[in-house]
Amino acid sequence: MTTVLLVEDDARISEPLIRVLRTEDFDVVHVAAGQPALAAVAAAVPDLVLLDLTLPDIDGLDVCRKLRIDHPDLPVIMLTARAEEMDVIVGLNAGADDYVAKPFRLAELVARIRARLRISEHSAASGAASTTLNGAGIALDLRARRCHLDVDVDGSSNEVELTSKEFDLLAMLMQQPGVTLTREEIMNEVWDENWWGSTRTLDTHTSTLRRKVNDVTDPPSKIVTVRGVGFRFEP
């Protein structure tokens, strides 16, 4: 059975959500604070985490960052009353895979959970069958989900920490070097076709990714913007 860790301190939200998730055949583990959430993941890694942003002990952003260190592929969906664009960007940059503003429709949240789990399963299957992608001074290990820059002849390099979304975005581009991928293709593959948000999140992730892989020329020369269409990786 698929296990969902729900980190939510408001019983008015957690109780009906637990009932719905269990009706949908999810095994739900519920905690009401950040420290118990980290302890629960350390004891048994769930299949997905529903994480409230405002918690009584640790900020949900800090919990997400800590989870990303030891479990970079663990799907995390943030639940929050903060719906401003900057809050969404901060949450995604902290490592969240998706961001759901309160109040939310339970059916929509369940659909997002299932979509995120499908992406996680597909990513794991793809990573197990692949090796390493190289180009433009970047070495991307799909199996270990690690990114290194400036690989020298002696094998030395600088490792770059990418969020789950940044890694998936870079992998998709590097797997088809020189090919322009449309914004819709990228959103469908990396965020799933059931994504309800704006494609502006793609621009945010692309901008952050460029900075991390030293794509600092103007215009960028590794991850190239094709105006009105999408993006292309130049090896």
The amino acid occupying position 23 is T
**What pLDDT is recorded for position 34?**
95
Cβ-Cβ contacts under 8 Å for 16 (sequence gap 6 or more)? 106
Identify the three-state secondary structure at position 205: helix
Phi, psi dihedral angles at 79 (to 5 degrees): -115, 125
Model pLDDT for residues 155-204, shown as the tens digit of each residue: 456 899 999 899 999 999 998 889 999 998 898 888 865 555 556 789 99
Cβ-Cβ contacts under 8 Å for 79 (sequence gap 6 or more)? 8, 13, 50, 51, 52, 53, 100, 102, 104
**What pLDDT is recorded for position 195?**
59
In the predicted model, what is the mean pLDDT of the chain? 86
**What pLDDT is recorded for position 84?**
58
**What pLDDT is recorded for position 25?**
94
**Position 153 confidence tier, pLDDT thresholds 50, 70, 90:** very low
Model pLDDT for residues 92-106, shown as the tens digit of each residue: 777 888 888 888 889
Mean pLDDT calculated for residue range 138-162:
78
Closest CA to 226 of 160, 193, 176, 182: 182
Mean pLDDT calculated for residue range 212-235:
93
Evaluate if residue 118 carries a pLDDT over 50.
yes
**What pLDDT is recorded for position 188?**
86
Q: What CATH number should be reported for the domain whose range is 131-233?
A: 1.10.10.10
Looking at the DSSP assignment, which residues form a beta bridge with residue 138?
135, 149
Please state which architecture CATH assigns to domain 3-124: 3-Layer(aba) Sandwich (3.40)
Q: Which of these ranges, 44-58, 74-88, 110-124, has the smallest mean pLDDT? A: 74-88
Closest CA to 98 of 113, 85, 86, 83: 113
Q: Compare 197 and 213 and report the one with higher pLDDT.
A: 213
Mean pLDDT calculated for residue range 57-79:
89
Indicate the domain borders of the chain: 3-124, 131-233
**Residue linked to tokens 């979304």:** 165
pTM score, whole prediction: 0.57
Model pLDDT for residues 4-40, shown as the tens digit of each residue: 999 999 999 999 999 999 999 999 999 999 999 999 9
3-124 and 131-233: identical CATH topology? no
Q: Which of these ranges, 56-70, 89-103, 198-212, has the smallest mean pLDDT? A: 89-103
Evaluate if residue 108 carries a pLDDT over 50.
yes
**What pLDDT is recorded for position 80?**
81
